[in-house]
Structure 1
Amino acid sequence: MPFFETADRTRLAYEDYGTGAPIVFAASWALDADMWEYQVPFFVERGYRCVLLDRRGHGRSDRPSGGYDLDTLADDLAALIEHLGLREVTLVGHSTGGAEVARYLARHGEERVARVAFVSAVLPFLMRTEDNPEGAPEELSEAAVGRFLTDRPKWFHDRAQGFFATHLGNDVSPALVGLGVQRCLATSPVATVQIWRASFRADHRAALRAITVPALVVHGAADQSARVEVTGRRTAALVPGCAYKEYPTGGHGIFVTHKDRLNADLLDFIKGETGS
């Protein structure tokens, strides 16, 4: 696995498969590049180059004590794109990865980007404020942090079935559910807490309104981690001219449960065949 070094000398791992037009995948909170195992072969077989980052504190990358704010995470993503000299990139971000993509565009612009896809993204703004009454109170977020600090394995285990919305008939084996929990628990506990807080407090509304490249928003209607009425639908309303796809039985883990539909939707989008 190759590595590169960021401006603050953090060593980050990445994976690079295939040739052709590049797709850069930004992983979910507490997950690493391995989460995209059902997407990479699909796109490589169709002539695309797939680049995946283990963000700091995740996977095989360094686990520094800091740098888990969204500005730094977006700069890490930019450093990877520049390290590889990528242009005409399709950015695909899931959950917090979607927030990183939005912050990347706000900080680094669209010069290297052809299009963006926000999948189950924690956008546009999760925290309740005077001008964001749809958000959740910060006390609710901090209560979750308290549970991480008390029994992090139990928190992930208790939410694993809901993550995949198995109660709606999504066929996910116990082994696969367990693997998801295992991957989350391998993430730095410090990164887990700090990125949770950073994602919850980040306001992306202005950045989303400023997007000019083609954009796709995909969200599950049964997402328990990022409720669709607070995230996906509001994001789609903010991004000019974006295409919006909502999966009625989709939870947060649609990259697994709805992988065939998601891959097809992403492929149509990249080929310019997605309608709004």
Structure 2
Amino acid sequence: MSTFTTTDGTEIFYKDWGPKDAQPIFFHHGWPLSSDDWDNQMLFFVSEGYRVIAHDRRGHGRSNQTDIGHDMDTYAADVAELIQELDLRNAVHIGHSTGGGEAARYVARAEAGRVAKAALLGAIPPLMLKTDANPDGVQMEVFDGFQSALIANRAQFYLDVSSGPFFGFNHDGAEVSQGQIQNWWRQGMMGSASAHYQCIEVFSETDQTEDLKAIDVPVLVMHGEYDQVVPIANSAHKAVKLLKNGTLKTYEGLSHGFFATHPDLVNADLLAFINA
């Protein structure tokens, strides 16, 4: 099992597959999951000859269940330390949901030569929360409800999320996958309740407008038009306008977890972007 220890003593689990001299693709997972959420994409891209890397964010998956460092700056700093440890250069960063925010924060501040491109899938930037400056954002009461549900019965909350809005399985005519529901629940329950509770504040209240403006590499913004978790109008539609070199790709009728429900479609679009 591959792990490294950050400067604040947190042990981070990661996967590193494929030729070490190939172009690296680094995957950033969403809340409250782990690097396992990217298994399909990692298997696909390693078969295409790439080096693929994914970590379990601190407090998530197999990484230490630390109760410190749950903020976007620390998440991005952990990524920067791992990338320095592995000496990754010319990498493509792919982030989903909260992982999209983590990827954006890292890429915006990365050392020259470390990043080639980025893809943000169902990502939280620029800001999820409704504020005076972001009037069409999500009400604070929604995120308060997430935290209350996590405290009351985390196992049931995670089952409800994965059975319903995350994959769009509450949509009429949806093809429900019990395996995906159970895999989502498994990943979530591996992590720390404290880390997950704190991360709700991170993904809802972190304003990443300046991160998006600072990114100068090509960025593909991908989003399901039926995303019930991160509304497309408040995220992807705004994000692409803030990026210097952004392209928007949306998917009619697809959910927040569209890369998991439709991997063949998404993998082909990612490959075309990376190869362009």
Give the TM-score range, shorter chain: over 0.9
- Opposite residue 162 of structure 1, the aligned amino acid is P
Identity of counterpart residues, as a percentage? 38
Q: CA RMSD for the aligned pairs?
A: 1.4
Q: Is the 8 A contact 2:3 2:13 kept in 1?
A: yes
Q: Which amino acid aligns with 2:24?
A: P
Is contact 1:168–1:249 with CA below 8 Å preserved after alignment? no
* SS at 2:131 equivalent: coil
Matched with 1:191 is 195
Question: Could you say which residue in structure 1 is the equivalent of 2:8?
Answer: 8
Q: How far apart in 2 are the matches of 1:168 and 1:140?
A: 23
Return 5+ residue gaps in structure 2 as ranges.
none
The answer (yes or no) to whether the contact 2:221–2:248 under 8 Å persists in 1 is yes
1:1-276 alignment runs, 5 A limit: 1-19=1-19, 20-160=22-162, 161-166=164-169, 167=171, 169-272=173-276
Compare 168-177 and 206-215 and name the one that shifted more: 168-177
- Structure 1 residue 140: Cα displacement: 2.8
- Counterparts of 1:111 and 1:203 in 2: how far apart (Å)? 26
Whether contact under 8 Å (1:33, 1:52) holds in the other structure is: yes
The question of whether the paired residues in 2 share the 8 Å contact of 1:127 and 1:138 is answered with yes
Alignment check: 8 A CA contact 1:110 1:213 kept: no
Shift of 1:184: 1.2
- State the TM-score, normalizing by the size of structure 2: 0.94
Q: Separation in 2 of the partners of 1:212 and 1:173?
A: 38
Distance 1:113 1:263 in 2: 20
Report the count of equivalent residues: 272
Q: Match of 2:256, SS?
A: coil
Instruction: Tell me the TM-score normalised to structure 1 length.
Output: 0.94
8 Å contact kept, 2:62–2:191: no
Shift of residue 110 of structure 1?
A: 5.0
Moved more, 62-71 or 152-161: 152-161
Q: Is the 8 A contact 1:96 1:122 kept in 2?
A: yes
- Measure how far apart 1:98 and its partner are: 0.5
Q: Do the aligned partners of 1:121 and 1:231 also contact (CA within 8 Å) in 2?
A: yes
Q: CA deviation at 1:61?
A: 1.0
Change (3 A) 1:42 1:172: farther
Distance apart, 1:169 and its partner CA: 4.2
Further displaced range: 130-139 or 39-48? 130-139
| In 2: Cα distance, 1:68 partner to 1:128 partner | 21
Distance 1:146 1:3, change over 3 A: same
**Gapped regions of structure 1 (runs ≥ 5):** none
Secondary structure of 2:234's match? coil
Could you say what secondary structure the match of 1:91 adopts?
strand
